[in-house]
Amino acid sequence: MSGAHKRGAEWRAGGTDLSERLRSGVSDTFAGELTPAPGMLDIVPWGDGLRVGAMVPIQQLADDPRVKAGYAALAGAAGGLATPQVRAMATVAGNLTQRTRCWYYRHPHTSCLKKGGEVCPARDGNHLLGVLFDQGPCVAPHPSTLGAALLAYEATIETTLGRTLTVEEVFGDGRDGSRDHQLAEGELISALLLAPPGASERATYRRATGRHFAEWPLVELVVRLGVSEGRVTLARVVAGGVANTPLRLRAAEDALQGHSLNAATIARAAQAALESARPLPMTAYKGPLLQGLLRDQLDRLASG
Amino acid sequence: MTTARDLHFTLNGEVRNATTAPGESAIDLLRERCGLTGTKLVCGAGVCGACTVLVDGVPKVSCLLPAAALEGTEVTSVEGVGPEDGLHPVQRAFMAHDALQCGFCTPGFVVEAVAWYDQWRAAYGPRRPERAEIAAALAGHLCRCGAYDGIYRAVADACAGAFDDAASERSPRHDAREKVTGAARYTVDIRYDGQWEGTILRSPHAHARVISIDVTGALALDGVTAVAMVEPGATVRYVGHAVAAVAAADARRLRAALAAIRIVWEQLPAVVGVDQATAAGAPLVYRGLRRDALNGAEGPVIPSPWKGNIRGPSQSFADKPRQARRVIADARARKDPLLVEGTFQTGAQSHTSFEPHAAVARFDADGLTLHLSTQSVGHMARKVAAVAGLPEERVRVVAEYVGGGFGSKLALGDEATAAVLLARTSGRPVRVVLSREEELSVTGYRPATRIELGLLAGDDGTLDALSVHAWADGGVAINSTIAALARLIYPAKAKDLVDYDVVSHLPPASPFRGPGGPALCFALEQGVDEAAHRLASDPIALRQRWDPEPARQRLYRWAAGLETWYSRRASGSGSGRMLRGVGVAAANWLYWYEPGMSVSLAVEKGRLVVSTGTQDMGTGSRTVLARAVAESFGITPAEVVVRIGDSSLPEGPLSGGSRTTPTIVPPTLQACAELKERLGALAPGITWAARIAAAPDIRVTATRVPDSNDGEAVSPLQGTGIMGTAFDYILRFSTGLRTGRGSPGAVIVTEVEVDTWLGHVQVTRTHAGIAVGRIRARELAHSQVAGAVIQGIGHALHEERQLDGSSGLTLTAGLEDYRIPGMAEMPLLDVHFDEEGFDHVGGGGVGMGEVSTLAVAASVANAVYNATGRRVRELPLRPDRLMTLLADVDAR
Ligand SMILES: Cc1cc2nc3c(=O)[nH]c(=O)nc-3n(C[C@H](O)[C@H](O)[C@H](O)COP(=O)(O)OP(=O)(O)OC[C@H]3O[C@@H](n4cnc5c(N)ncnc54)[C@H](O)[C@@H]3O)c2cc1C
Ligand code: FES
Ligand code: FES
């Protein structure tokens, strides 16, 4: 699968991202069709956790009974993204490595940081769908829903260069505006590794969208919660659609950790969720949406 | 792996071998190489589902699916979902429930629904699925015509077993079978031997002069032709203005040809949007007499003054405007609580026809044949003849099936000009199909607007003064009419109605379903709602007082009797996260028809054939013709052969201004009467069917004559004074269009649910009361209204062209960013037709395509007010705007 390819050459897996760019002319980086190596199409036990092959279709991840039982928010995220047809084709690894959906990037007649340009035209231009947490030069949110869920589950990513990366390492800190992931040239994902879930934890995934379906979310949120004797013992809150990378909202997690899940705690967590927000002129609305999602899910989790 | 590759797969049960190019998608292989054109390309991005095929039984979007992934699979396209020579129950259900209009999205829906039906039946047997289950199953599909209402019913009934029996086949729509089987051939599906593919080179600049343009480099290439579409010295005024076109035998040559065209530009200062256009010292879009300003309307340009980039005031429809201004100024000075004032804005809405603008040109010994996705084969034939330099009788424009238009396919487009010029220079058939990006950028849109409204009710409940000042933001196009429409409804003591166009360096707006109407309704109907609130009156009761039009009076009575209406809560009285509300809005429209258009009716080999040079873009003109003939002769519509979509037929109307039905039905009925006379009286016991079967070939042709003077109905233009009469005459002589008597009207009641946490407005139910006289094809009329409602909801909540303010680039260049509503956005729908009042029109009814959409967005806004106590000032009410609107609402 390697060979002499031009820089940025892309192998095609499900094609749900790359095919569109090839048709519109945004990308001319086609390297070839990715053919599955052994293990790339299966979900298998990995210790007490799971090993998800890179080319497992997203729908298969959503439907897998072990994923549904142990990683409810991951199954929910997988089943809640895109459309049935796309989920049947798209691979889990492609979801992490898909390119941004920014309308400047996707337009065949513009230049931008991610297309080798010098500036992000959305920053001073139209960034209605842009980030709420301004981390770097590019203002487009990261599109990967699975990335947010995997971050919440602290999954690791195994690559063909023999590296095992954390989700943070795959996406970086958002300050590199020229790319959507930090894999090396020619490096491919071979599997996602899921550590065993916590005992009696519960988790949810929800999104806020304009239209109901066939949408990337304006804001999406994964909440993982362990509660023991009325107190929160585990809290993971990860937002998508709001930053250059899926974003862990640690302040919100801290506001939950060790407290009982009542209205006051929920209000404090909602407050804390926006602590480090740095909205752009057109994106302040994502703040209340993020808080709405958090309240919605915590209410749900609190009421059992 | 980056080289061509041989594939082996099964396609609709047949073993196929095909070679695929590197990086190719499955749809290109299926359509272009395997010749199966039922599968449609719309978005090319996985959003709309029009391209869905089954791969080993699983629905996949073939626009994204790698062609290589077909290796060793069994592929089923729409052409193969049914049994041989028969239909799948889902196809029968789509036909019976009229779950389609233009049909361009239909193959995708059908294929997906077939797979889902099979699964459902295997799991549950014949059981009826819930609406939400159907929405989720069809989440990957969009339909611009808005056939969702019928699709819900079709899928539910099919799953429940209502169409298992082949004998259950029935079809209210004349051409539905062709559409559910993928047999209908649209312009994009036309393919001649040796045909080349053409594409258009467009300006990257918002404002520039073409110093020189040189296509010789492209012409020198092998297998390529090229033409310049502008002269040196020409000024381009928006990004995307066509400047040259190329055609080639394959994609590689096409790219090389584009790259070989040399243009020297002189960039000029540009203004993008209203703010820049009206800033001090802004560069001018047009100069001098502005004769080159583009007309963005169907009607003629009435002279109006210019100041900088602003055209106007145009105020010929005002009525005692000085009195209105004075009365309102006085009320403002004394802080009259009954004075309603406000500024309202609406976003630019793109037509988004699912079949893009497309043309296939072919010259032969007889002249030119142009297949064109158009709303007017007749007018286009004349225009194309001029482009081709041929006499009109040597040009034939054909549009057998048209995948939607909504007003965007009324004018001669660049795709037609390019195809004709390229076919002539190359001597080959040439097809030009716009990409979705081009379609969403340069083929027109409903202009964005800003309206300043003033409305004063008197203490005694009279309407003392109405003031509407409207600014339209239609790019380089002028002649929008918004405020003037306020003359047609709510007689007031005085009306100050002023229209302006603000031009800037953006692509031109164009007519879109009820031009100007939705924006006016959005402002005016919220004004009336607010006035009712201030008068502590029921909003319907106030309209009953202010709007004397008899048909709408009947509709108001109907609306007031709806339980949802009389049991609604006081505005803003709800609490909690989810707020519910009910709103009403009314609209008035004109009825137009085109005298002089002809329909011919013939007996050919024992069958009745009706023909006219109109076209069917999903609105149902084929069906209307077939039914009119069938009813006259007591036969079934399916027995009537309908020929349309060809400029060589007797001249028929263009499809715009809701004129088609009222133009073609009267001459069709007249032709039926004449044919019966020619055939002679029926002998006892003989049916017309038998008489026709035995008749020799004959033909009669009838022409649309002006309406009779019988009956009470008056034209809404009557009473609008000298300008109304003048407008009527100008329209008559410039476009041949006659304004008929009678007011098509609508009263829309909308129920919404507002999620104050997630920024979401859901329209849960719409009650549409429509007064357009007698309904000829009830199921299709229902579909038309359903489409109008969902397009109105799109305008209200989702759809808006987004631009880059510095370059003038259209950023909503795909269906992912230009959000048309989907299945889940479709509310439950009740349609109530008021069928009186148009007896003076042959057939007793007029068109409804436009009037049904006008008040929808306004009634959504009034419902949101009822739910939240907040006035919606700006459309679309996207989540960001809703969150801002509700910023001070405590929703805990
Ligand atoms: C209508 C629609 C809605 C959508 N909504 C969402 C959404 O809400 N949330 C969301 O997350 N996504 C969404 N998607 C995106 C979709 O999930 C991704 O396009 C998909 O997951 C990409 O996977 P693929 O296998 O098709 O990738 P491809 O298109 O084949 O490839 C995408 C990129 O990934 C690279 N790649 C593929 N496999 C590997 C690998 N093993 N290792 C390294 N690089 C690899 C390719 O080289 C390429 O650069 C949506 C898509 C559509 C069409
Ligand atoms: S054309 Fe394939 S999904 Fe729209
Ligand atoms: S019928 Fe669906 S797009 Fe026209």
Query: Rounded mean pLDDT of B3-7?
Result: 87
Which atom from ligand 1 is nearest to the alpha carbon of A95? 21
Name the closest residue on chain B to residue A294, using Cα atoms: B757
Question: Over the stretch B316-361, which tens digit does the pLDDT of each residue have?
Answer: 899 999 999 999 999 999 999 999 999 999 999 999 999 999 999 9
B550 upstream amide cis, omega within 30 of 0: no
pLDDT score recorded for residue B890: 60
What is the identity of the amino acid at A156?
T
Nearest CB to B817 within list A103, A282, A285? A103
| C-alpha distances in Å from residue A275, one per residue of A252, B734, B815 | 8, 63, 34
Q: Tokens 């199409």 appear where?
A: A41
pLDDT score recorded for residue A2: 40
Q: Is B638 helix (H, G, I), strand (E, B) or coil?
A: helix
Q: Let me know if B235 is exposed, middle or buried by CB neighbors in 10 A (0-12, 13-18, 19+).
A: middle
Q: Dump strand ranges (E) for B442-485.
A: 445-446, 448-457, 463-473, 477-478
pLDDT score recorded for residue B891: 53
Q: What does the alpha-carbon distance between residue B349 and residue B356 come to, in Å, rounded to a whole number? A: 16
In DSSP notation, A30-47 reads EEEE--PPTTTT-EEEET
B313 upstream amide cis, omega within 30 of 0: yes
Chain A 4-43, residues with CB within 8 Å of chain B CB atoms: 12, 14-16, 19-20, 22-24, 30-33
Question: Over the stretch B622-633, which tens digit does the pLDDT of each residue have?
Answer: 999 999 999 999
Q: Could you tell me if the CB of B352 is within 6 A of ligand 3?
A: no
In this structure, how many other beta carbons lie within 10 angstroms of the beta carbon of residue B162? 19
Query: Rounded mean pLDDT of B562-575?
Result: 96
Q: Is A281 helix (H, G, I), strand (E, B) or coil?
A: coil
Question: Over the stretch B818-873, which tens digit does the pLDDT of each residue have?
Answer: 999 999 999 999 999 999 999 999 889 999 999 999 999 999 999 999 999 999 99
Nearest CB to B809 within list A12, A109, A211? A109
The CA R_g of chain B, rounded to the nearest whole Å, is 27
A128 part of contact set with chain B, CB < 8 Å:
yes
Q: Do residues A148 and A239 lie in contact, with contact meaning Cβ atoms separated by under 8 Å? A: yes
Q: What does the alpha-carbon distance between residue B354 and residue B135 come to, in Å, rounded to a whole number? A: 20
> Comparing A80-84, B177-181, B711-715, B765-769, which segment has the lowest mean pLDDT?
B711-715
Q: Which of A58, A91, A100 to mutate to test the pocket of ligand 1 (most atoms within 8 A of CB)?
A: A91
Nearest CB to A31 within list B2, B204, B806? B2
Supply angle C-alpha A95, A240, A53, rounded to 5: 25
- Token representation of residue A144: 């990967």
Q: Do residues A134 and A244 lie in contact, with contact meaning Cβ atoms separated by under 8 Å? A: no
pLDDT score recorded for residue A5: 57
Across the interface, whether the CB atoms of A32 and B883 are under 8 A apart is answered no
Nearest alpha carbon to residue B647 among B607, B605, B612:
B612
Q: What does the alpha-carbon distance between residue A271 and residue B823 come to, in Å, rounded to a whole number? A: 35
Query: Rounded mean pLDDT of B735-754?
Result: 93
Across the interface, whether the CB atoms of B44 and A30 are under 8 A apart is answered no
Nearest alpha carbon to residue B590 among B528, B515, B651:
B515
The CA R_g of chain A, rounded to the nearest whole Å, is 19
Q: What is the pTM of this model?
A: 0.97
Angle between helices B550-560 and B539-546 (to 10 degrees): 170
Q: Is B197 helix (H, G, I), strand (E, B) or coil?
A: strand
Pick the residue of B436, B758, B801 with the most A CBs within 10 A to test the interface with A by mutation. B758
Read off φ and ψ for residue B221, nearest 5 degrees.
-75, 155
Q: Is A156 helix (H, G, I), strand (E, B) or coil?
A: strand
Across the interface, whether the CB atoms of B142 and A214 are under 8 A apart is answered yes
Name the closest residue on chain B to residue A28, using Cα atoms: B23
CA B102–ligand 3 middle distance (angstroms): 5
Nearest CB to B757 within list A110, A209, A295? A295
Q: Please report, in tens digits, the pLDDT of each residue of chain A (304 residues total).
A: 344 456 789 999 999 999 999 999 999 999 999 999 999 999 999 999 999 999 999 999 999 999 999 999 999 999 999 999 999 999 999 999 999 999 999 999 999 999 999 999 999 999 999 999 999 899 999 999 999 999 999 999 999 999 999 999 999 999 999 999 999 999 999 999 999 998 889 999 999 999 999 999 999 999 999 999 989 999 999 999 999 999 999 999 999 999 999 999 999 999 999 999 999 999 999 999 999 999 999 999 998 7
Q: Which ligand is nearest to the CA of B147?
A: 3
* Paired strand residues for A206: A221
ipTM over the 0.85 cut-off: yes
- Token representation of residue B426: 């190359």
- Token representation of residue B202: 């467009």
The DSSP 8-state label assigned to residue B452 in this structure reads E
The DSSP 8-state label assigned to residue A71 in this structure reads -
pLDDT score recorded for residue B3: 75
* Paired strand residues for A225: A202, A235
With the CA atoms of B809, B815, B818 and B819 taken in that order, what torsion angle do they form, in degrees rounded to the nearest 10?
Answer: -170
**Confidence grade of residue B75 (pLDDT, cut at 50, 70, 90):** very high
pLDDT score recorded for residue A3: 43
Q: Tokens 């039984």 appear where?
A: B57
Q: Do residues B263 and B212 lie in contact, with contact meaning Cβ atoms separated by under 8 Å? A: yes
- Token representation of residue B571: 């505005």
Nearest CB to A210 within list B2, B798, B811? B798
pLDDT score recorded for residue A250: 98
The sheet carrying A247-248 orders its strands as A201-208, A219-228, A231-240, A247-248
Name the closest residue on chain B to residue A212, using Cα atoms: B824
Read off φ and ψ for residue B315, nearest 5 degrees.
-140, 30
Q: What does the alpha-carbon distance between residue A118 and residue B620 come to, in Å, rounded to a whole number? A: 52
Q: Is the pLDDT of residue B2 over 80?
A: no
Q: Are strands B698-703 and B598-604 parallel, antiparallel or unpaired?
A: antiparallel
Name the closest residue on chain A to residue B111, using Cα atoms: A85
* Paired strand residues for A45: A50
Chain A residues with CB-CB distance to B136 below 8 A = 84, 213
CA distance A147 to chain B (A): 20
In this structure, how many other beta carbons lie within 10 angstroms of the beta carbon of residue B809? 26
Quote the distance between the C-alpha of residue B512 and its chain's center: 6
The DSSP 8-state label assigned to residue B662 in this structure reads H
CA distance A213 to chain B (A): 6
Across the interface, whether the CB atoms of B69 and A212 are under 8 A apart is answered no
What is the identity of the amino acid at B476?
V
Angle between helices B414-426 and B377-388 (to 10 degrees): 40
List, in order, residues 6 or more apart from A181 with CB less than 8 Å away: A96, A97, A170, A171, A172
Q: What does the alpha-carbon distance between residue B620 and residue B598 come to, in Å, rounded to a whole number? A: 18
pLDDT score recorded for residue B1: 45
- DSSP H or E stretch at residue A273: helix A263-273
Q: What does the alpha-carbon distance between residue B859 and residue B827 come to, in Å, rounded to a whole number? A: 13
B889 part of contact set with chain A, CB < 8 Å:
no
In DSSP notation, A104-152 reads TTTSTT---GGGT-SS-HHHHS--TT--SB--SS--PPP--HHHHHHHH
Q: Is the pLDDT of residue B376 over 70?
A: yes
CA B667–ligand 3 middle distance (angstroms): 29
Q: Terminal CA-to-CA distance of chain A, rounded, Å? A: 48
Q: Let me know if B557 is exposed, middle or buried by CB neighbors in 10 A (0-12, 13-18, 19+).
A: middle
Average pLDDT of the residues of chain B: 95
Q: What does the alpha-carbon distance between residue B54 and residue B80 come to, in Å, rounded to a whole number? A: 10
Which atom from ligand 1 is nearest to the alpha carbon of A81? 8
Chain A 99-118, residues with CB within 8 Å of chain B CB atoms: 101, 103-104, 106-110
Q: Which of B52, B64, B816 to mutate to test the pocket of ligand 1 (most atoms within 8 A of CB)?
A: B816
What is the identity of the amino acid at A145?
T
Q: Is B22 helix (H, G, I), strand (E, B) or coil?
A: coil
Question: Over the stretch B220-232, which tens digit does the pLDDT of each residue have?
Answer: 999 999 999 999 9
Question: Over the stretch B185-223, which tens digit does the pLDDT of each residue have?
Answer: 999 999 999 999 999 999 999 999 999 999 999 999 999
* Paired strand residues for B14: B11
Query: Rounded mean pLDDT of B550-569?
Result: 97
Q: Do residues B555 and B743 lie in contact, with contact meaning Cβ atoms separated by under 8 Å? A: no
Please report which residue ranges of B794-870 form alpha helices under DSSP H: 851-854, 856-868
Which residues line the pocket of ligand 2, CB cutoff 6 A?
B 41-44, 46-51, 61, 63
